């Protein structure tokens, strides 16, 4: 495709147009000075009125609740209610926990999704649990990939390729479950890990 040469055109303003533009600029400057005197600044100078990470988290959590509700209703043979808020859907699922527990894979899915949503909400609200990197090596993969979660007294191996010899372990699933230990149990096994 060949480029087409365009003619450059100079647009000369008439005296009337220039006068009108000058008058508009002076009026805008006067309004700006009045606003500055009252402490009002331009919109571009401040922070955004909304925290986008909060809106993103709300959207992700809402979709997560909708998908979780659909999975629970499908597995338990229930008809999903339409037009319910995420809070109402969560309340209904809490009421169904005894039935959900009867299906081990569904219970694990609900627990996993609930933890993920809780973690996302906590992170946005500033309640994220501190994570401490440990110097000790993982007793399974020997990588320096142990992280401690002091609030839960839990140690997790964050190495994605950590696999043990147990065929029934969650580390061998398509979406592997990370190896985890109670802090005190691992401290006894490895000595002092902190």
Contact 157, 178 (CB under 8 A): yes
**Tokens, residue 56:** 């993103």
Tell me what the mean pLDDT of segment 168-184 comes to: 81
- Helix ranges, the chain (H): 15-37, 52-76, 86-95, 97-101, 104-125, 183-190
pLDDT for 6 equals 62
* pLDDT value of residue 119: 85
Distance in angstroms (rounded) separating the CA atoms of residues 166 and 161: 15
Q: Is the pLDDT of residue 160 over 90?
A: no
The whole-chain average pLDDT of the chain stands at 85
Q: What is the mean pLDDT of residues 52-68?
A: 92
Work out the average pLDDT over 41-62: 79
Burial status of residue 138 (CB atoms within 10 A of its CB: 0-12, 13-18, 19 or more): buried
Question: What pLDDT, on a 0 to 100 scale, did the predictor assign at position 80?
Answer: 87
> Looking at residue 161, what is its pLDDT?
86
pLDDT band at 153 (very low <50, low <70, confident <90, very high): confident
Confidence at residue 1, expressed as pLDDT on a 0 to 100 scale: 54
* Structure tokens that stand for 119 in this block: 């973690």
Using the predicted structure, report yes or no on whether residue 127 has a pLDDT greater than 70.
yes
Q: What is the pLDDT of residue 8?
A: 60
Average the pLDDT over 12-16 and give the result. Answer: 83
How is residue 140 annotated by DSSP? T
Is pLDDT of 186 > 90?
no
Q: How confident is the model at residue 150 (pLDDT cuts 50, 70, 90)?
A: confident
Tokens 């894979």, located at residue = 105
| pLDDT exceeds cutoff 70 at 44 | no
Task: Report residue 173 as tokens.
Answer: 């699933």
Is 72 in contact with 100 (CB distance < 8 Å)?
yes
The yes-or-no verdict on residue 92 having pLDDT over 90 is yes
The DSSP H or E segment spanning 136 is none
């Amino acid at each position: 495709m060949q480029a087409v040469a365009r003619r450059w055109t100079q647009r000369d303003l008439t005296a009337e147009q220039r006068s009108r533009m000058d008058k508009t600029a002076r009026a805008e400057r006067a309004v700006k000075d009045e606003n500055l005197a009252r402490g009002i600044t331009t919109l571009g100078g401040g922070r955004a009125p909304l925290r986008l990470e909060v809106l993103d988290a709300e959207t992700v959590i809402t979709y997560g609740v909708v998908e979780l509700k659909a999975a629970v209703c499908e597995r338990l043979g229930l008809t999903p209610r339409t037009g319910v808020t995420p809070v109402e859907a969560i309340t209904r699922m809490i009421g169904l926990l005894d039935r959900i527990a009867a299906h081990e894979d569904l219970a694990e899915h609900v627990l996993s999704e609930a933890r993920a949503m809780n973690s996302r909400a906590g992170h946005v609200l500033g309640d994220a649990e501190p994570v401490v990197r440990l110097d000790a090596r993982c007793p399974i993969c020997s990588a320096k990939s142990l992280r401690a979660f002091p609030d839960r007294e839990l140690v997790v191996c964050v190495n994605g390729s950590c696999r043990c010899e147990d065929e029934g372990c969650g580390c061998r699933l398509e979406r592997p479950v990370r190896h985890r230990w109670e802090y005190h149990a691992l401290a006894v096994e490895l000595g002092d890990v902190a």
